Structure 1
Amino acid sequence: MNTLLNQNFHTKIPLLASKLISSLAVFEKSPTFLAKHEQNLTTPFDPFQFFNENRNSTQCTIRNTKVIHTHLLKSAALQSNIFAANSLLHWYCKSAAMVDALKLFDTLPQPNVFSWNIVILGYNQNDLFEDSWRIFCRMHSLGFELNEITCGIVLSACTALQAPMLGTHVYSLSMKNGFFSNGYIRAGMIDLFAKHCNFKDALRVFHDVSCENVVCWNAIISGAVRNGENSVALGLFRQMCCGPFQPNSFTFSSILTACAALEELDIGKGVQGWVIKCGAGDVFVGTAIVDLYAKCGEMEEAVKEFSQMPSRNVVSWTTVISGFVQKDDSTSALKFFKYMRELEVEINKYTVTSVLTACAKRAMIEEAIQIHSWILKTGYYLDAAVGAALINMYSKIGALYLSELVFKEVGNIKNLGTCAAMISAFTQNQNFRGAIEMFQRMLQESVRPDKFCTSSLLSIIGCLYLGRQIHCYTLKTSLVSDVSVGCSLFTMYSKCGSLEQSYKVFEQILEKDNVSWASMIAGFAEHGCSDQAIQLFREMLLEEIIPDQMTLTATLTACSALCSIRKGKELHGYALRFGVGKDIVVGGALVGMYSKCGSLELASRVFDMLPEKDQVVWSSLVSGYAQNGYIEKALMLFCDMLMADFTIDCFTVSSVLGAVALLNRSGIGTQLHAYITKLGLDSDVSVGSSLMTMYSKSGSLGDCRKAFDHIENPDLIGWTTMIVSYAQHGKGAEALSVYELMRKEGIKPDSVTFVGVLSACSHNGLVEEAYIHLNSMAKDYGIEPGYRHYACMVDLLGRSGRLKEAEQFINNMPVKPDALVWGTLLAACKVHGDIELGKLAAKKVMELEPCDAGVYVSLSNICADMGQWEDVLKIRSLMKGTGVTKEPGWSFV
């Protein structure tokens, strides 16, 4: 047919050949294909030969195409030769002159399917996908029969338009026309579903018909990787290898990416060996291999592979830099970046953002400013992603004011990325007001905060009223269905104490991930609902969700609170079953759980079995020994920790100080205090409180007060410890003075604080002041007095000799007096020799605690002091009759 068309074309334009050749001579940079025509000007111009020879020519400019178009119009060849018309149409599309291409197309008397395909493909190649779809719809409505190429091209347009429904219609048409086995069409549909719909639909398309080409395998494997289904990708790759199809470089790069994401280094090495054997290595496969080693933490091997690559691109360089950033080796990352610049290698925004991440450390403020200056000089400052990375870098350095300055200079309030980075910067630096104001500004400017903005804001909200407003916004914008937003929402409710509402939000999340389960379990555990936490873990297992390290750690915390060693052992079994029993995070939680359950032997065994130990694991065991009374072991383990050169944190130090306080060895305590001061931990409130307790127990109130004064921001525990320390040592006036200072600082006292205050009043004989403070508990702070507070009042009245008033006070108590209250009155009766009231108090104590030997002894001593020896004998015989024995006294001296 083409031969006939060419013959017809030759008969009509023999006289125009020389004119066409002379016009062609004006082509830019005279192409090589003109030489043949210039050698023989009498040879008629053959469009078939011309377009075939210049199919891949780089001379497809608008000017050149219009020159050819002009001569073909003069020859009237376009009306009779469809090949010439389609070729010219193709040249217009290649030169991006789609307006001219469409005009030409509309003039064709009888366009064929290839004409339509050329125009549709042209629009695709020029990113005019909506026009591509419009032309396809026009073609279909006019009744033109589609072919496989048409469907494949249009599916690419649907993918770019993120229109899976349109793609489904095209796929249905292709099925109807019998193209269901075409690999090009199926690969396009798999790609569409994998990018913009459910990956399960992509798998369904893949399995509809047995796959007979490597393109479909590549499409489904790369789709699995893109959707994070890396294990599925490995499974598909194994199936592919069992069939007749050999993987190519595209397959290898995808599967190496999956291995990198799963950190499956051994499998990745096997794939690398296959690449070497097949000789399928190119720059993309080489980069994927470098990425594999980098993601698995093998940076030395990654650099080796990088250096052996015959050719590298910007992605290869960026991969190495990102690998060093991931390993927290900022120095090497910056060295590579410097080397990259010296070689004048192309740098893109991803390279720049990786380098900015490397500089996001307080110790690298100078390097950060230098990189910032370079960005200003090179113009990357205008890129929104780079601007967001700069904001994030300064935020992590702690220079929030610089983050705000960057946002003012480059941050367009209309740009969602920079706004999200700024909200994140405010939240990281605990600037609640700034985050709220930024969120409000976005709403005022009609910029809809996305899931990242909303999750960041929810992370610092501690006000239930405001949290509910944000919840309403997530419902209105449908963000509540996002798992990260849902997780942030129920965490916010949990933090605000609304555990019931937190669980409601959790239940409404359709697809819960491990983070969601772990957060909800941790919420229950933190609010004293450990039983519900463990029940939730059981529900998670029933949902066939495999628990990860976070979930197991949260559930182990609940077991620790319940002191349930049986449930803890069950969880230990789960951890071993799922291969995380020796994980450092889970191991630390197991050590902590066994320690709190009093099983120090098991805690020690888990500790010894861990291949790697961090400071959390060490601290957990040190704390376990200290809290269970194994003081010497706690101190020895702490020394081992120091010898191993582990960083000592506040939790570890507090535990050891508690052990030293129990041991009552001030020399060790003084040495430890010196070491703490050297580390700069003495300003921490938990460490300071532990130091105060240690010095208080050894009677060194001066050192106790110095430790208190060194605390940067004393909290309620710190203030209370100081008050109680003064009170216990008879320094009532000092204790009350500290209490008044605490109130001026705006710190609200708790029940323990009032025990110290009432005890101070007792030591100073301040009866009226004690009554004022007792009444203030419920009136000013909503704290109902407990037995210890009432015992302090009885002790105060007893010390003051007002025994009858003390008895009346006990009888008027709103709660039934316990043995502590009556025992306090009994001690006062002994001091003042009131035998009758003493007998009454002793009787009450014996009724409540019949086995308390101290009561019998106290009553016996009162009678002895009054010379009533017969009563002394009666009390002694009563003790023998009830089987109560007094423990012999002993002393360290």
Structure 2
Amino acid sequence: MESNISNLANLLQSCISKKAHLAGKILHARIFRLWLSSDTFLSNHLIELYAKCDNITNAYQVFSKIPQRNIYSWNAILGAYCIHRNLQDAYGLFQQMPERNTVSWNTMISTMIRNGYEMEALDIYDSMMLEGVRPSYITLTSVLSACSALLDAEYGRRSHGFVIKVGLDRNMFVVNALLSMYSKCGLTRDAIHVFRDIPDPNEVTFTVMMSELARTNHLREAADMFKLMLRKGLHIDSVSLSSILGVCTKGGFGEIGLSRHNDGFSFNVPGEELHGLSIKLGFETDLHLSNSLLDMYAKNGDMDNAEKIFVNMPKLSPVSWNIMIAGYGNKYESDKAVEYLSRMQCYGVEVDNVTYINMLAACVKSGDIKTGRQIFDCMSCPSLTSWNAILSGYMQNADYKEALKLFREMQFQHLRPDRTTLAIILSSCAEMRLLDTGKQVHVASQKFGFHDDVYVASGLINVYSKCGKMELAKYVFYKLPELDVVCWNSMIVGFSINSLDKEAFSFFKQMRQFGFFPSEFSYATILSTCAKVSSLFQGQQIHAQIAKEGYVDDIVVGSSIIEMYCKCGDVGEARCFFYMMPGKNTVTWNEMIHGYAQNGRGDEAVCLYEDMIESGEKPDDITFVAVLTACSHSALVDEGVEIFNSMYQKHGIVPMLDHYTCIIDCLGRAGRFHEAEVILDQMPYKDDPVVWEVVLSSCRIHANLGLAKRAAEELFRLDPQNSAAYVLLANMYSSLGRWDDARAIRDLMIDKQVRKDTGYSWSECRDGMQIMLENDNHPVASSEVN
């Protein structure tokens, strides 16, 4: 009899290992015929077999018919319920158990953790300790895993103490769990301390440590860990390589060299060398490692190498496709991303939420908002990240109206916005000057608990500033419990755009007094304010601060310094600074060219434009506005015509309104009206009043009455309340002695109630005082900006 039981048990164990459900049922029938159904030992095996073969009903039937259940019977059926995630029944069964051993507690704790009930798992562990059951290394590994998931460092530290007390601080499973717990809780030093206390760490320990250091962006430490692993001659497996490739992806090695001389490996370019090492070690077919290599190349923008790996992979997963789509998205190649999406669907690979998010991000980054919206509409249940991505796309494409419309739809779906959502919508409100909508978003931000969020507050300040409500902007600013540089910058920008220059300078000084160090944007903003009010004295002081704090080489700040000096009339200082700058971009060149243009130094502006072309810097539409303005103001007509014609022919830039205005002004000032009229008849901006104002002004200088009348008629049609057309035409009649015509124009102004705009002039005193004089006998107004 004992021999039969032993043989049947061995056969059942083989069925369990192979999940051979049919063979197991045949054995069950044989056990029944041999009258061995009541044997507890065989019944326990049958429960385990049915559990492994997803037949929980039969497992429970076997359990219910055991006349003498032992602890193994209870653990077997408990394990069956846990395998099938029948947590409620499992917990009820656990409570009914006449006795429980460490296996019972471990089964329940690990099952709760696997199903996301970490807090409940720790409660069960506490009950286990109260009952005096000694935990095993499996128990403590599970408990530390729960602490990691909950980021509960305090509970984790207590558990660490118990680990040391029971002598499990050398158990590699427990040690690895401790490393993971401390790293995920952001306690990297504690993790390193645990690692250093391990007498003989293995490759698993090193891999866990590297993974956690990389995950928490301690990239240099992760790289050092890999070098130490190599020096110790430990086995390098695919998991280790995947972990260190994550460090390469984030740029963790930089210029650090790696070497493993005894194996002949020399790592000078870590990512590519690790790729070579993976091939040498025979991991070409490892899917996880191949995906890590794909990710490394894709995130570093090397899509050519990513393509080579992709096409040679023997097996592809949805992760592989998603990495390629995200990689092309990061390179702003939405067409390639769409191609991969189509191929993915053709191969029958299921498109998941990650695919849609990556595809949406690719379209948004590439500016292809139309395709992005189609992708978004295909998503059955878009996540908040997806909503933010499409909203951001509309905002970046200046389609603020559609962004607001989509935000309302998001509210109808009762999806709670986050700080990013609110910031995007507030930016759209600011650009459209929608004060009431901005106020509604303000109320919504308070409702959702963002009343003290500096990110949202900056957006609110921006809305109120652009709507001219600086008192409301100050209210938001002063209500914040904690401030940051961004909020200060928002206020300074707000004062500047509302011509409250004294307040802008005051806030800039207060920001420094409160211990906030100005950022590049802070300096660029305050320099623009100096430029706007032509305050050279203030600008020189700010320049000195910039030099002292080391921002003088920043391109954005440098461009603002050039703008400030040029607008304050000190072109020589601007030029000196320009040539001293170690790095220049298109904006920098544009500022200097525009500076020459503003100060009547057209020849130098054209020469600098030619230098820019020779340097390889690509001009943009603003470059051409600057250089054409210079040609216009300095009577460089032929040069201006040549540059205008080269815009599209040589540089592929289609002329816009400002370019047409500049070239027409240039031709008009020189009296070349025939050429100007040819351009007027051909250009697509005939209904813009600015162009006709320029034409009328030039006609007055050269007494071209015929074209002047045409220009004036266009202006009367397009902008009947603009006084410029009436005044210019009346003055032209007066200069020609046609007093009756001049009087008729002035009478027309009176009939249409057109009011002449007031003119102003500025001057700066040594003490920084700005004097503003009006030309219509109004009182003198002054404001101190120093």
TM-score by length of 2: 0.77
TM-fit CA distance, 1:359: 7.4
**Which structure is larger by alpha-carbon Rg, 1 or 2?**
1
Q: Show the counterpart of 1:513.
A: 383
TM-fit CA distance, 1:823: 2.0
- The answer for unaligned runs of 5 or more in structure 2 is 67-72, 256-268, 764-786
Asked whether the equivalents of residues 787 and 820 of structure 1 are also in contact (C-alpha less than 8 Å), the reply is no
Alignment of 1:569-718 (within 5 A): 569-646=439-516, 648-677=518-547, 680-709=550-579, 714-718=584-588
1:397 counterpart letter in structure 2: G
Q: Counterparts of 2:84 and 2:417 in 1: how far apart (Å)?
A: 29
Query: Which of 36, 56, 65 is matched with 1:171 structurally?
Result: 56
2:597 counterpart letter in structure 1: A
Query: Which of 286, 289, 298 is matched with 1:418 structurally?
Result: 289
Secondary structure (helix, strand or coil) at the match of 1:396 reads: coil
Secondary structure (helix, strand or coil) at the match of 1:891 reads: strand
TM-fit CA distance, 1:446: 1.4
Cα 1:323–1:185 change in 2 (3 A) is closer
Secondary structure (helix, strand or coil) at the match of 1:892 reads: strand
TM-fit CA distance, 1:502: 2.0
Residue 270 of structure 2 corresponds to residue 402 of structure 1: yes
Cα 1:694–1:528 change in 2 (3 A) is same
Deviation track 1:808-855 (CA, whole Å, cap 9, x = no partner) reads: 654565542543223223322333345565455445434433333334
Q: Show the counterpart of 2:768.
A: none
Secondary structure (helix, strand or coil) at the match of 2:761 reads: coil
Asked whether the equivalents of residues 326 and 359 of structure 2 are also in contact (C-alpha less than 8 Å), the reply is no
Q: Counterparts of 1:279 and 1:679 in 2: how far apart (Å)?
A: 63
| RMSD of aligned alpha carbons | 4.5
Q: Counterparts of 1:576 and 1:546 in 2: how far apart (Å)?
A: 13
Query: Which of 129, 154, 164 is matched with 2:49 structurally?
Result: 154
Q: Show the counterpart of 1:754.
A: 624
Q: Counterparts of 2:148 and 2:61 in 1: how far apart (Å)?
A: 48
Asked whether the equivalents of residues 823 and 845 of structure 1 are also in contact (C-alpha less than 8 Å), the reply is yes
2:204 counterpart letter in structure 1: K
Q: Show the counterpart of 1:377.
A: 231
Secondary structure (helix, strand or coil) at the match of 2:686 reads: coil
Deviation track 1:336-375 (CA, whole Å, cap 9, x = no partner) reads: 533x24xx3766635644356547999985x566433321
Residue 429 of structure 2 corresponds to residue 529 of structure 1: no
Q: Counterparts of 1:597 and 1:668 in 2: how far apart (Å)?
A: 27
Q: Counterparts of 1:220 and 1:276 in 2: how far apart (Å)?
A: 14
Q: Show the counterpart of 1:136.
A: 24
TM-fit CA distance, 1:470: 1.9
Secondary structure (helix, strand or coil) at the match of 1:582 reads: coil
Asked whether the equivalents of residues 451 and 479 of structure 1 are also in contact (C-alpha less than 8 Å), the reply is no
Asked whether the equivalents of residues 287 and 306 of structure 1 are also in contact (C-alpha less than 8 Å), the reply is no
Q: Show the counterpart of 2:434.
A: 564
Cα 1:571–1:775 change in 2 (3 A) is same
Cα 1:531–1:423 change in 2 (3 A) is same
Q: Counterparts of 1:222 and 1:543 in 2: how far apart (Å)?
A: 37
1:505 counterpart letter in structure 2: I
Residue 375 of structure 2 corresponds to residue 495 of structure 1: no
Q: Show the counterpart of 1:387.
A: 241
Q: Show the counterpart of 1:16.
A: none
- The answer for unaligned runs of 5 or more in structure 1 is 1-80, 90-104, 106-110, 158-165, 195-201, 238-248, 254-271
1:349 counterpart letter in structure 2: V
Deviation track 1:550-579 (CA, whole Å, cap 9, x = no partner) reads: 444444444444443444444444443343
Secondary structure (helix, strand or coil) at the match of 2:251 reads: helix
TM-fit CA distance, 1:382: 0.8
Cα 1:528–1:131 change in 2 (3 A) is same
Deviation track 1:712-735 (CA, whole Å, cap 9, x = no partner) reads: 664443433333222222222332
Equivalenced residue count is: 721
Cα 1:454–1:768 change in 2 (3 A) is same
TM-fit CA distance, 1:451: 1.3
Cα 1:497–1:135 change in 2 (3 A) is same
Q: Counterparts of 1:212 and 1:296 in 2: how far apart (Å)?
A: 25
Query: Which of 449, 461, 468 is matched with 2:338 structurally?
Result: 468
Q: Show the counterpart of 1:443.
A: 311
Cα 1:857–1:572 change in 2 (3 A) is closer
Cα 1:732–1:142 change in 2 (3 A) is farther
Q: Counterparts of 2:111 and 2:247 in 1: how far apart (Å)?
A: 32
Secondary structure (helix, strand or coil) at the match of 1:397 reads: coil
Cα 1:888–1:642 change in 2 (3 A) is closer
Cα 1:392–1:812 change in 2 (3 A) is closer
Asked whether the equivalents of residues 306 and 316 of structure 1 are also in contact (C-alpha less than 8 Å), the reply is no
Asked whether the equivalents of residues 380 and 386 of structure 1 are also in contact (C-alpha less than 8 Å), the reply is no
Residue 699 of structure 2 corresponds to residue 829 of structure 1: yes
TM-fit CA distance, 1:540: 3.9
Q: Counterparts of 1:185 and 1:535 in 2: how far apart (Å)?
A: 57
Asked whether the equivalents of residues 525 and 554 of structure 1 are also in contact (C-alpha less than 8 Å), the reply is yes
Q: Counterparts of 2:180 and 2:329 in 1: how far apart (Å)?
A: 27
> Which has the higher mean CA deviation after the structures are superposed, 183-192 or 881-890?
183-192
2:341 counterpart letter in structure 1: H
Secondary structure (helix, strand or coil) at the match of 1:694 reads: helix
Secondary structure (helix, strand or coil) at the match of 1:579 reads: coil
TM-fit CA distance, 1:805: 5.0
Deviation track 1:302-344 (CA, whole Å, cap 9, x = no partner) reads: 6577457634545665566556655766556544533x24xx3
Q: Show the counterpart of 2:327.
A: 457
Cα 1:816–1:511 change in 2 (3 A) is closer
2:274 counterpart letter in structure 1: V
Q: Counterparts of 1:226 and 1:755 in 2: how far apart (Å)?
A: 64
Cα 1:873–1:376 change in 2 (3 A) is same
Cα 1:440–1:510 change in 2 (3 A) is farther
2:523 counterpart letter in structure 1: V
Cα 1:617–1:406 change in 2 (3 A) is farther
Q: Counterparts of 2:109 and 2:373 in 1: how far apart (Å)?
A: 38
Secondary structure (helix, strand or coil) at the match of 2:228 reads: helix
Q: Show the counterpart of 2:776.
A: none
1:386 counterpart letter in structure 2: S
Cα 1:172–1:329 change in 2 (3 A) is closer
TM-score by length of 1: 0.69
TM-fit CA distance, 1:488: 0.5
1:791 counterpart letter in structure 2: T
TM-fit CA distance, 1:297: 7.5
Asked whether the equivalents of residues 334 and 355 of structure 1 are also in contact (C-alpha less than 8 Å), the reply is no
Q: Counterparts of 1:468 and 1:844 in 2: how far apart (Å)?
A: 48
Asked whether the equivalents of residues 183 and 212 of structure 1 are also in contact (C-alpha less than 8 Å), the reply is no
Residue 656 of structure 2 corresponds to residue 789 of structure 1: no
Query: Which of 195, 198, 221 is matched with 1:337 structurally?
Result: 195
Secondary structure (helix, strand or coil) at the match of 1:755 reads: helix
> Which has the higher mean CA deviation after the structures are superposed, 704-713 or 174-183?
174-183
TM-fit CA distance, 1:153: 1.1
Asked whether the equivalents of residues 171 and 189 of structure 1 are also in contact (C-alpha less than 8 Å), the reply is yes
Q: Counterparts of 1:669 and 1:180 in 2: how far apart (Å)?
A: 92
What's the % identity of the aligned pairs?
A: 24
- The structure whose RCO (Cα within 8 Å, separation 6+) is larger is 2
1:446 counterpart letter in structure 2: P
Asked whether the equivalents of residues 407 and 418 of structure 1 are also in contact (C-alpha less than 8 Å), the reply is no
Deviation track 1:679-725 (CA, whole Å, cap 9, x = no partner) reads: 55444443333333222211233343455456666444343333322
Q: Counterparts of 1:802 and 1:740 in 2: how far apart (Å)?
A: 25
